[in-house]
Chain A
Amino acid sequence: MGEILQQLVNGISLGAIYALIALGYTMIYGVLRFINFAHGDIFMIGAFSGYFVANAVSHILPTGSIGAVIVVFVASMTICALLGALIEYLAYRPLRKRPKLTVLITAIGVSLFLEYLSQLLFGATPRGFPEIISNHALIKSKAVTIDVVGAVVIITSFTLMLALRVIVMKTKIGTAMRAVSFNQQAASLMGINISKVITFTFMTGSALAAAGGVLYAAQYPSIDPLMGILPGLKAFVAAVLGGIGNITGAALGGMIIGIVESFIGGTFLSTYRDAIVFAILIGILIFKPSGILGKNEVEKV
């Protein structure tokens, strides 16, 4: 029983990070109808930004202090938001009217570019991530241990998801975003600046991925330029599982994938963990491509 509960807690904190990344996939898919393959690498850049910022400010703000944590988060989210907007502007915008697969291939190119540029700049060897959150057990009972980092991961993720929900549902730009994802042409006729909405979407999605990257690095404190590939792919699976284009679905999908992965990790199937996540993806795409919460898009022939 105790172990099950512990796996569940671990799963939720891992799932919360997947959810943060999945949100970016889903939002970008919502407005542009394409899979941003490079999203996992933004997550990686987020972790690296966190690493450098934490080290840079450590003279003024001691690592582990609240001030430092906030600076690290804000800085890395800002860096990635700008990077996201830049990538969209340079690589994807010229392809706006082009077929989806051209954009997908470009996204693969962007992904490789970010990975290998980081390898050149930061080196391929993993680096230890500074202990930005001083860790100790928060709750320690026979059944379950929750440490500070785990709690921060869960609380921060949920706060950010809630903030995103408010932005999407209550603000003007959020309404525009929903309009664009519903019908781009109509939205444009209603005077919505599509480019602005897309830029904003990339910025928000990338900022969330950056937060995910910092949280992931705080929990598993070893970062390297290829660290974004697998979490990125799994978060994509989460987005599809929840119903791509659906924000609540992405959060839900992230949780499910995190929990499933955590439980499999505790069994004899642990070496098959990644394969099982992909098997889930294939299963959904074949049997229920719209995902758990997605709408069925009727293909017009």
Chain B
Amino acid sequence: MTGLELQHVTMRFGGLTAVGDLNAVIEPTGLVGLIGPNGAGKTTVFNVITGVYSPTQGDVKFLGKSIKSLKPNEINQHGISRTFQNIRLFRGMSVFDNIRVSYAPRTNNKIIGSLLRMGGFYKEEKEVAMKIDRLLEFFNLSHTRDEQAISLPYGDQRRVEIIRALATSPKLLLLDEPAAGMNPTEKVNLMKLIRQLRDEFKIAILLIEHDMSLVMGVCEQIMVLDYGVKIAEGTPKQISENKHVIEAYLGEVVE
């Protein structure tokens, strides 16, 4: 069974076609990069996959089922999780609590259990805390556990967002410019981490990235969007030699 399948996905806003007739497949443990100049429609693709937008035309299938008319929270429950280009951590909460939100829709103890603190409430809370601590450890962020998430350095905030997304136990993880705002050392570490994530958690990863070296270094498969249309697809080597891609990027400074 294939993981994610985009079939003729088109997204129009009024007269503007942000994404046009996009077809793509991501295998269950694929590590795919989505690149393209600014305004190429990359984040729109993410928003369509995660249900923020419903595509004007076409279908989005995940594990064989159409998810295009589902709400973002339902899509997350189906196993797709994401991070945001402009970090959206919960501002009033600590790092620990930010990640804890991902377990909120997944607990056995809902209102009654929480109110009365009965029925294995403490046991479950302990389990959640252990899972969060394990994730923090994996990302070397244990020391930030009780800090306000938004007070962390930029790179750490991005990693907390990744943890928060992972905590929902996704089968497909969408990373929107995970390296933005990171310094070169952080970027190298991030590259390693992304591969490690895929291998450790056995998940598919689709990432949007501007940093070419990062995309080329980490992804097995790359899709190139320009003006909402896929202009190329292939391995990093194929893409770096592709004429259309070079054209699309000509004069375009890649940050």
- Contact, chains A and B (beta carbon distance below 8 A): yes
How far is A70 from B165 in the complex, measured between Cα atoms in Å?
68
| Residue A190 CB within 8 A of the other chain | no
- Quick one: CB contact mask for B32-76 with A, threshold 8 Å, 1 for yes? 000000000000000100001100000000000000000000000
Chain A residues within 8 Å of B52, by CB: 301
Within 8 A of B (CB), among A287-301: 298, 301
Please give the distance in Å from A296's CB to the nearest CB on chain B.
Answer: 11
How far is A65 from B47 in the complex, measured between Cα atoms in Å?
67
Chain B residues within 8 Å of A301, by CB: 47, 52-53
How far is A301 from B54 in the complex, measured between Cα atoms in Å?
13
How far is A178 from B209 in the complex, measured between Cα atoms in Å?
41
Chain A residues within 8 Å of B47, by CB: 301
- Quick one: CB contact mask for B198-221 with A, threshold 8 Å, 1 for yes? 000000000000000000000000
Chain A residues within 8 Å of B53, by CB: 301
How far is A301 from B11 in the complex, measured between Cα atoms in Å?
15
Within 8 A of B (CB), among A264-301: 298, 301
A300 (CB) vs chain B CBs: closest residue? B13
Please give the distance in Å from A152's CB to the nearest CB on chain B.
Answer: 47
Please give the distance in Å from A139's CB to the nearest CB on chain B.
Answer: 51
Chain B residues within 8 Å of A298, by CB: 13
Within 8 A of B (CB), among A1-36: none
Please give the distance in Å from A34's CB to the nearest CB on chain B.
Answer: 23
B47 (CB) vs chain A CBs: closest residue? A301
How far is A301 from B44 in the complex, measured between Cα atoms in Å?
11
A301 (CB) vs chain B CBs: closest residue? B52
How far is A294 from B104 in the complex, measured between Cα atoms in Å?
39
How far is A301 from B52 in the complex, measured between Cα atoms in Å?
8
Please give the distance in Å from A290's CB to the nearest CB on chain B.
Answer: 16
Please give the distance in Å from B180's CB to the nearest CB on chain A.
Answer: 19
Please give the distance in Å from A211's CB to the nearest CB on chain B.
Answer: 40
A298 (CB) vs chain B CBs: closest residue? B13
Please give the distance in Å from B34's CB to the nearest CB on chain A.
Answer: 19
How far is A301 from B50 in the complex, measured between Cα atoms in Å?
13
Please give the distance in Å from B123's CB to the nearest CB on chain A.
Answer: 38
How far is A139 from B13 in the complex, measured between Cα atoms in Å?
56
How far is A144 from B13 in the complex, measured between Cα atoms in Å?
53
How far is A169 from B142 in the complex, measured between Cα atoms in Å?
62
How far is A298 from B12 in the complex, measured between Cα atoms in Å?
13
Please give the distance in Å from B69's CB to the nearest CB on chain A.
Answer: 17
- Quick one: CB contact mask for B1-25 with A, threshold 8 Å, 1 for yes? 0000000000001000000000000
Chain A residues within 8 Å of B13, by CB: 298
How far is A144 from B53 in the complex, measured between Cα atoms in Å?
56
Please give the distance in Å from B126's CB to the nearest CB on chain A.
Answer: 36
How far is A74 from B52 in the complex, measured between Cα atoms in Å?
53
B52 (CB) vs chain A CBs: closest residue? A301
B53 (CB) vs chain A CBs: closest residue? A301
How far is A301 from B85 in the complex, measured between Cα atoms in Å?
12
How far is A298 from B13 in the complex, measured between Cα atoms in Å?
10
How far is A298 from B79 in the complex, measured between Cα atoms in Å?
29
How far is A298 from B52 in the complex, measured between Cα atoms in Å?
13
- Quick one: CB contact mask for A164-198 with B, threshold 8 Å, 1 for yes? 00000000000000000000000000000000000
4 residue pairs bridging A and B, Cβ less than 8 Å apart: A298-B13, A301-B47, A301-B52, A301-B53
B residues with a Cβ closer than 8 A to A are 13, 47, 52-53
Top 3 nearest A-B pairs (CB, nearest first) are A301-B52, A301-B47, A301-B53
A residues with a Cβ closer than 8 A to B are 298, 301
